[in-house]
Amino acid sequence: MEKTIQCYCVNCRQVTNHAVLFSIKEHSNDDDYWWESTYSVVKCLGCESIQFHKEDIDESNFEYYGDGDIDTHPTITTYPRQRYKVEPIGNTWELPELVRGLYVETMDCLNNSRLQLAAAGFRAIIEAICRDAKVTGKNLESMINNLAKSHIITAKDRDHLHAIRFMGNDSIHSLKKYREEEVIIVAHIVNAVLTSLYLIAKKVKYLDMKPISKYTEFIDILDESIAKRTVGDVDILRNFIRHDRRIISEDIPGFENELKANITSGTYTKLSLCATPTTGHSQQYKIESI
């Protein structure tokens, strides 16, 4: 039966089974230092595309578990080159400058299998996010906590960022090697955090459908609604504005109090206050002009 290996397929954009069409090995002749390189031509069993695949293993990359088991952490090189292990987010120019430089370099490390540098880089990105947000703290641990306390990130994000901090610390200080899958997960987390912190936040500004927060905006919506009604109509406030989801329900009492005050003082004249309601509990308003 022909030998198969699992590797990334540029066409299928995922790891697939590949048939090994041809393979040759080279290895060290030196007993002191062991290495082995395997050069293969492989064919994707999904899309049938053919690629070159090189696997380098050397003992400096071994991770020993003490029970005889080792992880060999091979370095894989393929041609055509794998596009991305994790695709970098677009619009990186919208990231703060300090974050952007680190991000571009770190993703480059990851996508070129420089996992240890990538893990350290992701930790540095978290630190840059904290500095950009101007959160204080005696170390990165407390800065991340303060980022969550200031509601800049969620409690879940906080735990993720701590996990990235641990990984970065291990990479720098104990030279622990993480698996590619683990660093890839970190890259996805960083992509999600950067997207929600910097990219989505900018886009929301341009959306009409963000909740309104100012009384003047509330009045604009009320005026639009009144303009579609008839002079003399009587209704409660929630019915005048009920089709507008930009107004958040719990904000209505605040807006209504200000509206009543403005009607009473004569600064808002399109509505008048009806006498104390006889049915229901809500204040009723009569349209005086549209």
User: Interface with Zn ion by CB under 5 A: which residues?
Assistant: 9, 11-12, 44, 46-47
- C-beta of residue 247 within 8 angstroms of C-beta of residue 217: no
Task: Output the six-digit token pair for 38.
Answer: 């395997």
Least separation in angstroms between residue 73's CB and Zn ion is 25
**Rounded-to-integer distance, Cα 147 and Cα 132, Å:** 11
Task: Output the six-digit token pair for 158.
Answer: 């906080």
Least separation in angstroms between residue 43's CB and Zn ion is 9
- C-beta of residue 251 within 8 angstroms of C-beta of residue 238: no
Q: What is the DSSP annotation of 103-139?
A: HHHHHHHHHTT-HHHHHHHHHHHHHHHHHHTT---SS
The nearer residue to Zn ion, 9 or 124, going by C-beta atoms, is: 9
The nearer residue to Zn ion, 2 or 31, going by C-beta atoms, is: 2
Q: What is the signed CA dihedral for 62, 67, 68, 71, rounded to 10 degrees?
A: -30
With the C-alpha atoms ordered 55, 181, 122, 86, is the resulting torsion angle positive or negative? positive
- C-beta of residue 178 within 8 angstroms of C-beta of residue 171: yes
The nearer residue to Zn ion, 6 or 150, going by C-beta atoms, is: 6
The nearer residue to Zn ion, 14 or 139, going by C-beta atoms, is: 14
Least separation in angstroms between residue 48's CB and Zn ion is 7
**Helices within 133-214 (DSSP H only):** 140-149, 155-169, 180-194, 200-205
The nearer residue to Zn ion, 42 or 109, going by C-beta atoms, is: 42
Least separation in angstroms between residue 206's CB and Zn ion is 39
**Helices within 212-276 (DSSP H only):** 215-227, 237-241, 252-265
The nearer residue to Zn ion, 8 or 178, going by C-beta atoms, is: 8
The nearer residue to Zn ion, 41 or 219, going by C-beta atoms, is: 41
**Rounded-to-integer distance, Cα 124 and Cα 102, Å:** 7
Least separation in angstroms between residue 45's CB and Zn ion is 8
Least separation in angstroms between residue 24's CB and Zn ion is 23
Least separation in angstroms between residue 83's CB and Zn ion is 13
